[in-house]
Structure 1
Amino acid sequence: MKQISLNTDWEFYESDESMSFVFQRPEAVTVNLPHDFIITKPRSPQAAGGPGNGYFGQGEGVYRKELEAAKSWEGKTVLLDIDGAYMNSEISVNEELLALHPYGYTPFQVDISSALRFDGRKNILKIITQSRQPSSRWYSGGGLYRSVSLWLGERICISPWDVFVTTPEVTEDSAVAEFAVSLTSCEEEERELTLVCEVLDPEGKAAGTASRQVKTSRSGEETPCRIPVTVEKPRRWEPDTPVLYTYRVLVKEGEKIWDTAEDTFGIRTISVDPENGFRLNGRTVKLKGGCLHHDNGLLGACAYAKAEERKIRLLQSAGYNAVRISHYPPSLAMLKICDRLGMLLLDECFDVWRLGKVPMDYHLYFEDWWERDMEWMVKRDRNHPCVISYSIGNEIGERDGRNDGAAWSARLSEKIRSLDPTRFVLSAICGIFGEDTEVGTNFEANILEDKEDGWKEKTKDYAAPLDIVGYNYLNVRYEKDHEAFPDRVICATETHACSTYDYWEGVKKYPWVIGDFIWAAVDYLGEVGVGQVYWKKENKPFQFMAAYPWRTSWQSDFLMTGERRPQSFYRELMWGHTDKTWLFTTHPSHYGDEFYGSGWHWPDVNDDWSFGSEWEGRMVSAVSYGPGEEAEFILNGTSLGRVPYERLTAKMDISYTPGILEAVSYREGKEISRGSLVTAGEAVRILAEPEQDTLKGDGQDICYIRIMITDENGVRLPAEEREIQAELTGPAVPAALGSGNPCTEDQIGQMSCHTFHGTAQLIIKASEAGKIGIAVRSGGLQTGYAAVHAV
């Protein structure tokens, strides 16, 4: 089928309207997709979604678009493909309601052929989306936040997702790519056709072909067909060499080509067992993973391909080889990026089944919709080599067997295997509540002490259908559960930041534990303040989520702007990906104080040696993350002594004196590497640094500009939280301006914000080709200028 993008030129307005009555319509604006109409709404302490949703607003977003249906389309198949819409979507064409879709994360398709007009009149496609809260435990966004397209097919065609390519046999000399293809015919009569399956190598050259005669079924029925294609000397898909082949399927009747289907796939094998763990192409690979929510920081839920790519590249640069998309299917853009860059992916379907976690979440629809939603997820995703596992659910309320939890676990697992028997089935399980304890929050379940070990028996039947059992915050169970269930393969699907060393030691020690997925890899909107540090002297009452104006979780390796946090450097060392030394300090105002947190926190340290003259002579706690046996601290060229590394960490209390503080790592007396901090001078200028020189002028591509406040020598001022304003010239369209500050009242969508740790981020699009000028100003500082070219 032919795909036609519908990502541009939508009329959008917010309204409380139904399909039956049309109230006075607000004035529409023109928007391009992806689009999140919630992210620019003012936040409020009274927001219905509360801290879980980041104190953002809610509403109903209406999208309208004119479609031209050529006369030649009549009698053919026209499918509307929506990769994600939040949520309770209503799809109509020419005021005919064609579909409802409750879930906000699964892709879905709607046959709109019967409602189209082919007489030259315009067709009006209308999609209503509801972002009502509380309907999620994180920032959901709202609207058509992923891509939308049409698929146009002949009367005999291959519907999207109806080609499934597997590689059941792979050796050094050859591989078998087995095509499972379903043909759909609208013809009244059976037809004799030829199905041709081709494999093209990464250079576009023919790598294998096979064909088969097929007799189609009668109108409206699918005809399944399997065809093996041999590929000589296959190049395997791996994280370091993510080789992608292209499949092409042709449906022929004599010389006539009815339809073609084409996409990429990878040749690789995967297996799991408790002796060898997870193996990719026969080689054991430990998963160095992180959990990701779907938002892209200042862009909200918008799944721009460039934003998804940037996120994965940042994680790879820090040593990650796997991501878990939490707790729903990812965007198609994310899948394609992970295929291309070699990032392994755990694909998750649900956060709830029949027992809800917030009042308006998916549990209201699960029983009626789970099978369709799961089928859409698996059929879309099963040709992507990055996908190694499907999760049937995260911390499901039925995990302890209540409400037929074990039966539902078996039912969902069986459904996945019927659609794709080549991936592993997983569910992420956390602690459980006691016999007489009323079910509480996920947070409570994750910190419960199971003194009587009821977890093992209560979750046994639920876990039995799974290929991999996901353990959330349960590393104390790795050894004893292996004794009880020697055939069980475990994956640490969520782990705490503050004890990451212990979790990873368990992964290294036990072959049946295949990997560790930190919660979380990139800071996200919602679940606000879970990672904050509490200082004892401040006497602030502990609460799991923070009060307004907190907006992000603050429990991740990266700020939502992409700046690395200290724990990211620590984890890169822990995984053995670097021999660098990293140096951080705690502000002297906290010297001698004690701190604590939820478990998702990290010590309050920063790359800062610029504390102001009032702190000179005051003690500062410095910490070095590094390799080797000991670290030497050096201040302004004078050695302060050496400290042994324990768990990759060396600490020293130092009297603050401006200048240069260094930490040098040694092994057997020889220097390995060193890190340093430099005292910044007065704020003088703003730097604006684009991450690329060009972007496409199509309204779909985006460009990130890093903004930094520096002294006259270009040293960043770590404590600067100064208001800045951005101005654009040329064909630029602002997408977002803001910082990674987890707690701020800065309004996303405005062209001013405050820096955080001396940095901020501007994101732009382009409406057409041309030169784009960027100016970033703040009172008393030299303006930062930059330019990029839209092509």
Structure 2
Amino acid sequence: MRQLTCNIYWKLLAVCAFLLVITPINKCHAQRAGGSHTLNFDFDWRFHLGDIAGASEMSYDDASWRQLDLPHDWSIEQPFDLDNPSGWRGGYLPGGIGWYRKTFEWKKQKDSHVMIQFDGVYMNSEVWINGHYLGKRPYGYISFEYDITPYLKTGKNVIAVKADNSRLPSGRWYTGSGIYRHVWLRVTGAIYIPQWGTYITTSNVSPQKADVHIQTEIQNKSNVARVIRLQTDIFSSDNKKVLTQSERVTVDTGLTNWRQKMVLPNPRYWSPETPEIYKVVHRIIYSDNKEESYISYFGVRTIEVNAKDGFVLNGRRIKLNGVCNHHDAGPVGAAVPEDVLYRRLKLLKAMGCNAIRTTHNPAAPELYAMCDTLGIMVLDEAFDGWDKPKAPYDYGLYFKEWWKKDLTDFIKRDRNHPSIIMWSIGNEVPRFNVELQKHLVEVVKSLDTTRPVTQARSGEGRYVDVVGFNGEGEMPGVLETFHQQHPDKPLLGTEITHTLQTRGVYYARTSYRTRDFPAPWEEGVKWEDFKSKVFPIPDLSEKEVFKKQSIFYQSSYDNAIVRIGVRDQHNRTEAFPFFIGTFRWSGFDYLGEAAIQPARTANFGILDLCGFPKDHYYLYQSLWSSTPMVHLLPHWTHPGMEGVTIPVVVYSNAPEVELLLNKRSLGEQTMDTSRQLVWMVPYEPGTLEAVARKDGKIVAKTSVTTAGAPAAIRLIPDKQQVVADKRSVIHVEVQITDAQGIMVPEANNLVKFKLKGPGKIIGVENGDIIDFSSMKAEERKAFKGKCLVMIQTTLEPGNIELTATSDGLKSQTITFSSLSKSNKK
């Protein structure tokens, strides 16, 4: 895994820019892909929850409003309430109407143009500058820009934003509310490259060379045609200039489209293993030698998809080993700091995941930049549904009017990212018509012809390049039958497979959702009629050996399924050349869409709401990763079960594994197509150890040991040093241990947190889907021995001290260094 010292790659490749005409000077988060004067505009906003008359006017007095920084999600700050109209779809959290205002000083400059860019506002956003109405965007996941030049004044200026998420449910899962992504201010001259104005593709790719095609839009806002010099430089990932080209361009008033071709020698391919990124720097140079620069990024790679070879990247056949991810992240809701997102992506990468589907909407721009540098492929999805709402007040109400504009902006925003290997135009679209599918595909193809197009649950898939299957593709015979009928169509598991598990919970007997814990839409379905549609999993024992816990919790063996388990699905994916891969539902637990009510989520994730791995994480690692590993389950603390035979399961990518109990060998087994090894072990306290071997040599070990009574708290941070930038986040795993330091797997102690120094607690979580405690408090009960606290820095450098206490337990205090940016190594 490539190590990054910053959150996103433009932090590495560009320096912070400040405009002295803005006072007070806003701390520059990072220059991103775009113009040389693209400034972060997140800090020092005022916020009011609730509609309020006159808030769009410049003269309105907002002094009593709450001061905060963006990104911000007001829904996640509110208490859970089973009476909230968001209901089980939205995790019982509220919506509402929120107002944001930002006051700043400005000095008008001749020929300067200023745009304000929003990466995402949920939803029905309306924006004003100095009382002038700029526009409305209903879609809560789309990025957009307004030109504020005509309305700026020298002196005081006010931006006002209204977000209206008052009609709920507006989605089938937790959406968040407010300006939950970054805001940017872009300042240019009279001639500039518009937002998303570059389009970079490659052709004739070989180890010796690659043709780089650059299409550039140049906007001339002056009243006359101008002659400029356009200098284009291409830099490699180690920031060495590899190509340069300079030419005179006559730019008429309005928009000019300029095309360039450059031949790149010895290109470095982008792939999951070698995520090489190239940077394009455009410099617009005026006759008086003044200049502006614009940065774009691209990668060199080839994609082929067909039913015979499957998915072929750079001439090599690979399977898409992917996960679906919603945009929220546990206790921070929809307003996800970069450190939080980056941690999540690194966890997936370490699991062996090579692809992500952005379910079911455009993601934050920084996700794609991270995937570019980490080497994670992306299936980029535009919409959940189309013109027929799936939740009473979702985007379907606005689709007919807005889909073409939103789809165009979506494709233009993202199409330079090498990590994006496919577009999706929709998900489980109710009663979709084929003609509308055709129109959406035509718009995508008019903007980008370099990637295939799919749709999750594509139907007959007449106009898509790759036919997507969700749950229906998990049923016996469905993929095979479709392939027989359409032998030339490559197929993709856009949402396969669905299994459920709760961290630390185990049942030896298999459960099927439809039979044992039906979702609301499965009520009334007879198991006798449905069971032919599942791939049955044998029980691990004739009688249940574990005590039944809450009906909301599911087993962490691979035996709580909807239609097919992980191991059976993996074997099918490997067996079908025409089936190019799967996107598991889901990578992480997410808020809302709770199949059993009332709960906060449905437990589909491989990782829980804390980002703590469940046992399935290691199952996938054994299937998708080549790094030697071994994992065993369950834990080995079962008081009162002495002598009871417990199924012990081992996952490994090594060919042989030996199991030992208290140093006594229980035998060695060889991995086969069952993808797991099972020993039936009479329980006795002590240490259970798994030793993995290849060619007789030990390649990996793991063990679990019986824990005693809870005695202490252990704090495990993911970093010791951070930057004092109001951005950096420390994740601290909190474990309840016995006197010997062994985690107690059933501990549920209440842990209280006290923080000193320049930091703040931005979230607490434990992964328990039926714990409706506040995620913004300074305490949390442990769940299955663990919980999480998240700390964010302020602008002040210094030491941050976290103390965790719990009645009857030994407390722990740890200290972090928050460094000024100039001192960060």
Q: TM-score scaled to structure 2, two decimals? A: 0.83
Q: 1:532-571 maps to which residues of 2 (within 5 A)?
A: 545-548=595-598, 550-571=599-620
Deviations 1:763-783 (A, max 9, x none): 111112111111111111111
Deviations 1:5-25 (A, max 9, x none): 111111112012356899997
- The answer on 1:427 being equivalent to 2:455 is yes
Three-state SS of the structure 2 residue aligned to 1:624 is strand
- The answer on 1:776 being equivalent to 2:777 is no
Q: 1:127-138 maps to which residues of 2 (within 5 A)?
A: 127-132=161-166, 133-138=168-173
Aligned to 2:182: 147
- The answer on 1:35 being equivalent to 2:47 is no
Contact kept, 8 Å, 2:567 with 2:675, in 1: the verdict is no
CA–CA distance in 2 between the matches of 1:170 and 1:643? 46
Q: How far did 1:472 drift?
A: 0.9
Of 223, 227, 230, the residue aligned with 1:188 is 223
What is the total number of aligned residue pairs between the two structures? 711
Of 752, 762, 774, the residue aligned with 1:747 is 774
Aligned to 1:271: 304
Aligned to 1:542: none
Aligned to 2:325: 292
CA–CA distance in 2 between the matches of 1:669 and 1:158? 61
Of 101, 118, 122, the residue aligned with 1:86 is 122
Aligned to 1:620: 646
Letter in structure 1 aligned against 2:375? G
CA–CA distance in 1 between the matches of 2:263 and 2:487? 38
Of 198, 202, 205, the residue aligned with 1:163 is 198
Three-state SS of the structure 2 residue aligned to 1:334 is helix
Letter in structure 1 aligned against 2:637? S
Counting aligned pairs with the same residue, the percent is: 31
Letter in structure 2 aligned against 1:559? D
Deviations 1:486-541 (A, max 9, x none): 2211111111234222322222122221111100011111112xxxxxxxxxxxxx
Three-state SS of the structure 2 residue aligned to 1:47 is coil
Contact kept, 8 Å, 1:211 with 1:227, in 2: the verdict is no
Q: How far did 1:372 drift?
A: 1.2
Three-state SS of the structure 1 residue aligned to 2:410 is helix
- The answer on 1:713 being equivalent to 2:740 is yes
Moved more, 640-649 or 283-292: 640-649
Three-state SS of the structure 2 residue aligned to 1:71 is coil
Moved more, 664-673 or 651-660: 664-673
Contact kept, 8 Å, 1:523 with 1:552, in 2: the verdict is yes
CA–CA distance in 2 between the matches of 1:268 and 1:632? 42
Aligned to 2:151: 115
Contact kept, 8 Å, 2:115 with 2:187, in 1: the verdict is yes
- The answer on 1:522 being equivalent to 2:557 is no
In structure 1, stretches of 5+ residues that fail to align are 400-404, 431-458, 529-544, 586-607
CA–CA distance in 2 between the matches of 1:738 and 1:781? 20
Three-state SS of the structure 2 residue aligned to 1:750 is coil
Letter in structure 2 aligned against 1:486? P
In structure 2, stretches of 5+ residues that fail to align are 1-34, 500-560, 820-825
Q: How far did 1:75 drift?
A: 4.4
Three-state SS of the structure 2 residue aligned to 1:620 is strand
Q: How far did 1:41 drift?
A: 0.6
Q: 1:161-310 maps to which residues of 2 (within 5 A)?
A: 161-218=196-253, 221-310=254-343
CA–CA distance in 1 between the matches of 2:578 and 2:341? 31
Q: How far did 1:633 drift?
A: 4.4
Q: How far did 1:349 drift?
A: 0.4
Moved more, 623-632 or 321-330: 623-632
Aligned to 1:17: 52
CA–CA distance in 2 between the matches of 1:578 and 1:204? 30
Contact kept, 8 Å, 2:411 with 2:448, in 1: the verdict is yes
CA–CA distance in 2 between the matches of 1:628 and 1:170? 37
Q: How far did 1:660 drift?
A: 1.4
- The answer on 1:583 being equivalent to 2:617 is no
Letter in structure 2 aligned against 1:783? S
Three-state SS of the structure 1 residue aligned to 2:75 is coil
Deviations 1:285-321 (A, max 9, x none): 2111000000111111113111111111000111101
Contact kept, 8 Å, 2:707 with 2:738, in 1: the verdict is yes
Letter in structure 1 aligned against 2:347? L
Aligned to 2:578: 512
CA–CA distance in 2 between the matches of 1:275 and 1:213? 47
Of 386, 390, 395, the residue aligned with 1:353 is 386
Letter in structure 1 aligned against 2:568? D
Q: How far did 1:669 drift?
A: 8.4
Contact kept, 8 Å, 1:490 with 1:514, in 2: the verdict is yes
Three-state SS of the structure 2 residue aligned to 1:486 is coil
Contact kept, 8 Å, 1:303 with 1:333, in 2: the verdict is no
Aligned to 1:333: 366
CA–CA distance in 2 between the matches of 1:670 and 1:198? 51
Q: How far did 1:693 drift?
A: 1.5
Q: How far did 1:568 drift?
A: 1.4
Q: How far did 1:637 drift?
A: 3.0
Aligned to 2:486: 485
Moved more, 384-393 or 268-277: 268-277
CA–CA distance in 1 between the matches of 2:633 and 2:200? 49
Q: How far did 1:260 drift?
A: 2.0
Contact kept, 8 Å, 1:304 with 1:333, in 2: the verdict is no
CA–CA distance in 1 between the matches of 2:665 and 2:573? 38
Aligned to 1:364: 397
Contact kept, 8 Å, 1:5 with 1:148, in 2: the verdict is yes
Q: How far did 1:350 drift?
A: 0.3
Contact kept, 8 Å, 2:609 with 2:765, in 1: the verdict is no
CA–CA distance in 1 between the matches of 2:750 and 2:72? 27
Q: TM-score scaled to structure 1, two decimals? A: 0.86
Contact kept, 8 Å, 1:303 with 1:331, in 2: the verdict is no
- The answer on 1:398 being equivalent to 2:398 is no
CA–CA distance in 1 between the matches of 2:199 and 2:444? 14
Three-state SS of the structure 1 residue aligned to 2:295 is strand
Of 444, 452, 462, the residue aligned with 1:416 is 444
Q: How far did 1:79 drift?
A: 1.1
Letter in structure 2 aligned against 1:125? I
CA–CA distance in 1 between the matches of 2:311 and 2:183? 35
Aligned to 1:56: 93
Three-state SS of the structure 1 residue aligned to 2:436 is helix
CA–CA distance in 2 between the matches of 1:205 and 1:501? 45
Letter in structure 2 aligned against 1:116? L
Q: How far did 1:576 drift?
A: 5.2
CA–CA distance in 1 between the matches of 2:204 and 2:115? 34
Contact kept, 8 Å, 2:608 with 2:614, in 1: the verdict is yes
CA–CA distance in 2 between the matches of 1:212 and 1:631? 64
Aligned to 2:730: 703
Aligned to 1:6: 41
Aligned to 2:466: 468
The 1:313/1:428 distance shift into structure 2, 3 A limit, reads: same
Q: How far did 1:211 drift?
A: 3.0
Aligned to 1:71: 108
CA–CA distance in 1 between the matches of 2:197 and 2:655? 56
Three-state SS of the structure 1 residue aligned to 2:106 is coil
Deviations 1:106-152 (A, max 9, x none): 1111111222212x2x1110111122320001111111111101111
Aligned to 2:753: 726
Moved more, 13-22 or 349-358: 13-22
Three-state SS of the structure 2 residue aligned to 1:505 is helix
Contact kept, 8 Å, 1:33 with 1:700, in 2: the verdict is no
